[in-house]
Structure 1
Amino acid sequence: MGNDLLDRIAEALDALTAAGGGRAPEGLTPGELVAVNNAFGALKRQVDAAFAPVAAEIARQSRVELGKDSLARKQGFRSPVALIQATTGSSVGEAVKLVQVGEATAPRMSLTGESLPAKHPHVGEGVSTGALAVTAASAIVSLLDRVAPRVDPERLDAAEGDLVSMAPGLRADELARLLARAEALLDPDGVEPRHEQARAERHFEIIERDGRFRFTGEVDVESGAPIKTVIDAMVGQALRANHDADDATRDQRSIRQMRADALVAVCRHALGCEQVPTGPTTTVVVQMTLDQLRTEVGAVTIDGIDQPVPASAVRRLACDLQVIPAVLGGDSAVLDWGRDKRGFTRAQKLAIALRDQGCACCGAPAAWTEVHHIRWWKRHRGRTDLANGVLLCVACHHRLHDDGWEIEVDGTGIDAHVWFIPPPWIDRDRTPRPGARDRLTLAA
Structure 2
Amino acid sequence: MPSPTAAIAEALSALDAAWGDAPDTSALPDATVKLINERVADLRRRVDGLHARVAAEVAARSRPELGTEGLARKNGFRTPAKLIAEATGGHTADAVRLIQVGQATAPRMSLSGEILPAKHPHIAAAIDAGSISVTAAGAITTMLDRVSLRVDEAIRDHAEETLARKAPLLTYDELLAVLRRAEAHLDPDGLEPRVTEQHGERSLKIAQDAAGMTVLTARLDPESAAPVVAAIEAIVTHQLRTSRGHNAAPPTTGNGDHDVADPVDAAGDSDAGASWRRKGAAVEESRSLTQMRADALAAICRHAIGCDRDALPSSAVTVVVRMTLDDVRGGAGVATIDGMEAPIDAGSARRMAAAADIIPCVLGTDSEVLDWGRAKRHFTSAQRLILVERDGGCSSCHLPPAFTEAHHIRWWERDSGPTDLDNAILLCTSCHHRVHADGWEIRIDTPPGAPPSAGSVWFIPPPHVDPTRTPRLGGRRRFDPLAWGLTA
Q: Specify the code of the residue in structure 1 equivalent to 2:474.
A: G
Distance across 2 between alignment mates of 1:78 and 1:273: 61
Aligned match of 1:362 in 393, 397, 412? 397
What's 1:187 paired with? 187
Report deviation, 1:236. Answer: 3.3
Aligned match of 1:429 in 468, 472, 488? 468
Question: For the structure 1 residues 256 and 73, does the alpha-carbon distance in structure 2 shift closer, same or farther, using more than 3 Å as the test?
Answer: farther
CA contact (8 A) 2:405 2:426 kept: yes
CA contact (8 A) 2:377 2:419 kept: yes
Aligned partner of residue 19 in structure 1, secondary structure: helix
Report deviation, 1:191. Answer: 1.3
Correspondence list, 1:85-234, <5 A:
85-211=85-211, 212-234=213-235
Correspondence list, 1:17-416, <5 A:
17-20=16-19, 23-211=23-211, 212-240=213-241, 241=243, 242-243=245-246, 251-272=285-306, 282-411=317-446, 412-416=451-455
Q: Specify the code of the residue in structure 2 equivalent to 1:203.
A: S
Distance across 1 between alignment mates of 2:155 and 2:108: 21
Distance across 2 between alignment mates of 1:389 and 1:224: 30
Q: Specify the code of the residue in structure 1 equivalent to 2:209.
A: R
CA contact (8 A) 2:302 2:308 kept: no
What's 1:11 paired with? 10
Larger relative contact order (CA 8 Å, sep ≥ 6)? 2
Aligned partner of residue 321 in structure 1, secondary structure: coil
Distance across 1 between alignment mates of 2:172 and 2:298: 29
CA contact (8 A) 2:390 2:477 kept: no
Question: For the structure 1 residues 244 and 107, does the alpha-carbon distance in structure 2 shift closer, same or farther, using more than 3 Å as the test?
Answer: closer
What's 2:477 paired with? 438
What whole-Å deviation, never above 9, does each CA across 1:261-316 have from its counterpart, x for those lacking one?
A: 433332333333688xxxx9731111112222223221011112221111211232
What whole-Å deviation, never above 9, does each CA across 1:139-168 have from its counterpart, x for those lacking one?
A: 000000000100110110010000011111
Distance across 2 between alignment mates of 1:232 and 1:293: 27
Report deviation, 1:253. Answer: 4.4
CA contact (8 A) 1:281 1:320 kept: no
Distance across 1 between alignment mates of 2:91 and 2:302: 42
Report deviation, 1:435. Answer: 0.6
Question: For the structure 1 residues 243 and 372, does the alpha-carbon distance in structure 2 shift closer, same or farther, using more than 3 Å as the test?
Answer: farther
Question: For the structure 1 residues 224 and 326, does the alpha-carbon distance in structure 2 shift closer, same or farther, using more than 3 Å as the test?
Answer: same
Question: Between Structure 1 and Structure 2, which shows a larger proportion of helix residues?
Answer: 1
CA contact (8 A) 1:409 1:418 kept: yes
What whole-Å deviation, never above 9, does each CA across 1:220-272 have from its counterpart, x for those lacking one?
A: 11111111222333343455443467899754544444433433332333333
CA contact (8 A) 2:390 2:475 kept: no
Distance across 2 between alignment mates of 1:20 and 1:305: 43
Question: For the structure 1 residues 115 and 30, does the alpha-carbon distance in structure 2 shift closer, same or farther, using more than 3 Å as the test?
Answer: same
CA RMSD, Structure 1 to Structure 2 (Å): 2.3
Distance across 1 between alignment mates of 2:425 and 2:339: 16
Distance across 1 between alignment mates of 2:235 and 2:474: 25
CA contact (8 A) 1:19 1:35 kept: yes
What whole-Å deviation, never above 9, does each CA across 1:113-162 have from its counterpart, x for those lacking one?
A: 22211000000011111101000000000000000100110110010000
Report deviation, 1:217. Answer: 3.2
Percentage identity across paired residues of the two chains = 50
CA contact (8 A) 1:326 1:351 kept: no
Moved more, 123-132 or 24-33: 24-33
Report deviation, 1:65. Answer: 2.3
CA contact (8 A) 1:406 1:423 kept: yes
Q: Specify the code of the residue in structure 2 equivalent to 1:334.
A: V
Distance across 2 between alignment mates of 1:50 and 1:407: 40
Q: Specify the code of the residue in structure 1 equivalent to 2:477.
A: D
TM-score for the superposition, normalised by structure 2: 0.85
Aligned partner of residue 148 in structure 2, secondary structure: helix
Distance across 2 between alignment mates of 1:252 and 1:106: 54
Distance across 2 between alignment mates of 1:222 and 1:387: 32
CA contact (8 A) 1:72 1:79 kept: yes
Moved more, 16-25 or 91-100: 16-25
CA contact (8 A) 1:203 1:219 kept: yes
Aligned partner of residue 113 in structure 2, secondary structure: coil
What whole-Å deviation, never above 9, does each CA across 1:378-427 have from its counterpart, x for those lacking one?
A: 11011111111101111111111111111111114111111111112222
Aligned partner of residue 217 in structure 2, secondary structure: strand
Distance across 2 between alignment mates of 1:227 and 1:23: 54
Distance across 2 between alignment mates of 1:27 and 1:98: 36
Distance across 1 between alignment mates of 2:332 and 2:114: 44
CA contact (8 A) 2:247 2:430 kept: no
Moved more, 88-97 or 342-351: 88-97
Aligned partner of residue 168 in structure 1, secondary structure: helix
Question: For the structure 1 residues 20 and 257, does the alpha-carbon distance in structure 2 shift closer, same or farther, using more than 3 Å as the test?
Answer: farther
Aligned partner of residue 19 in structure 2, secondary structure: coil
Aligned match of 2:457 in 418, 424, 431? 418
CA contact (8 A) 1:404 1:423 kept: yes
Moved more, 418-427 or 14-23: 14-23
Moved more, 214-223 or 244-253: 244-253
